[in-house]
Structure 1
Amino acid sequence: MGRLIKAEFRKTLTLNTWWILLIPLVVVSFWMSFAWGNITNDFASYIGSGIARELAASIGLSPDNLPVGLLAISHGVNITQLIPAVFGVFALAGEYNSKTITTTFLTAPNRVSALTAKMISYIAWGALYGLLSFGVAALATVITVDSPGQPSGGQWLGALGGTILAYILVTLFGIGLGAVLNKVVLAVLLVIGYFLIIENVLVLVLWKWASVLGGILPNGTANGIVGGIAAEAFGFNSLNIPGDTGHFDQLGLQLAAGAPGVISWWASALIFAGWTAVFFVGGWLSNQKRDIT
């Protein structure tokens, strides 16, 4: 197994995909957090002084001491989750496209071993992408957010752990989707179109009647891991948002955390892990007997 894992890393490092995707990851994560850091630095003006006071009172802080840095971090790392998802698509679908899958399967004892080695190596890649994304998002947050709005030590660690977990799961999700579809271009377009447009439109349009959609669909639950940590720090996830908050004010508050409909970070992680398992296991099974000639 060790040799198979080493072969997977060598195979990936011989391509340009891994470092080319790092460029938009670093740039977008930094500038998204930078922009949101400037916006949320004056959080009371952003959401309204009355709501800000109510939220601050519910968690025992003054409005000036709310950890708005978490909002900047969550937006930075959430938007760039697309990068490891696209990277994951190339894991199997890319090999079928380039015809290297034949060598991969024929040089391994069996397909289970080959796919297990690929999964382990891409878990490491997902963790690396998550660490880099969090690092640049954190840097932008430190630059833009005033000291009273910086997260506490535990919140920094929670956001870091949540980011790494989310990026690992999103990478595996991309592998599974690419393996099921077996077409790189189709899978990449579907990932980008669904995560950026389709689901967001559905959640916003149907919010009045089905606000739960953001807390159970793939994009919402992927965003809800880090976004849920931010939402819980402010007391506006679906479990503890003030009861007299207007329906669409709830949407605005959860959008501020980058995760509309979020239930809690751990629920989002479990639900998205379920989505990941569906596609990953589906891709795994479909590749056990797929023709490689």
Structure 2
Amino acid sequence: MAHDHSHGTTNRRRLIVVICLVSVTLVAEVVGGLATGSLALLADAGHMFSDLTGLVIALVAIGIAARPATDRHTWGFQRTEVLAALINGLILTSVAVAVASEGVQRLTDPEPANVSGLPVLLVALVGLVINAISLVLLRPSVRNSINMKGAYLEVFGDLLGSVLVAISAIVIMTTGFAKADAIASLLIAAGILPRAAVLLRDVWRVLNESTPAGTDVEVIRAHVRNAPGVVGVHDVHVWSITSGQSVFTAHVIVEQDVFEQGRVGALLDHLGSCLAEHFDVEHSTFQLEPVKHADTEDIAHS
């Protein structure tokens, strides 16, 4: 998938709207949590604050990533999005640990705090609606940016948090079971960790220059070998600069006639188009080698 400026502009606009919506919800939850004594509401507010921080980081990262390449940074600054996603994942993990610790302490308290159920429910419903709107806004950008995926996961966690807070409020209102509030806060923490793990896993794949998810290197080799005049291929490498921008390099052994008949340019165009169309690889580099040269080379297969 091409990594172009139109994606960055659209993502920036969506993030700005979502940041405004999340900010309103955060204020409502903090005020509501302090007024009602709800740990679940304050826990969700803490989660939302970390998410708001992550969203702001994501917005800044988009601006930096859009800067053009230079002689010092030949790939530009697109990997900034990945570093922003890394920060988001670490923030999510820290919040989960803090919320879980406070939740356990409240749950083991022999005299749980009195929580007003109805105000908590109303605030939770407001957060639920706003988070749902935010998810709809961010959803189209998830596939083309790991940075936007991190933002989406954060808002999705906020949505689940609002649901849990609403359920705990209903339980308190109908049964008087005050510890439902602490249980909800623990469930919120438990929901944060898997999302943080998924995000950090994706970041690791990019920073470790692993083969992009869903890319079969052997299938790519087969396509290259099937090109006219190609005898073999080795030293194949596929990695991502950032989400949506894969890079491919390979040494391609070709028949001597390709050089003698001046078909090098046509073959390079064919190989580049093949990778772009079939494997969504925007940038590919091929080193063409005659059979005699390949026979003397110490080949290190990927």
Fold-level similarity (TM above 0.5): no
For CA contacts below 8 A with separation 6 or more, give which structure has more relative contact order.
1
Quick check: which one's strand share is greater? 2
The normalised TM-score by structure 2 is 0.31
| Greater share of helix | 1
TM-score by length of 1: 0.32
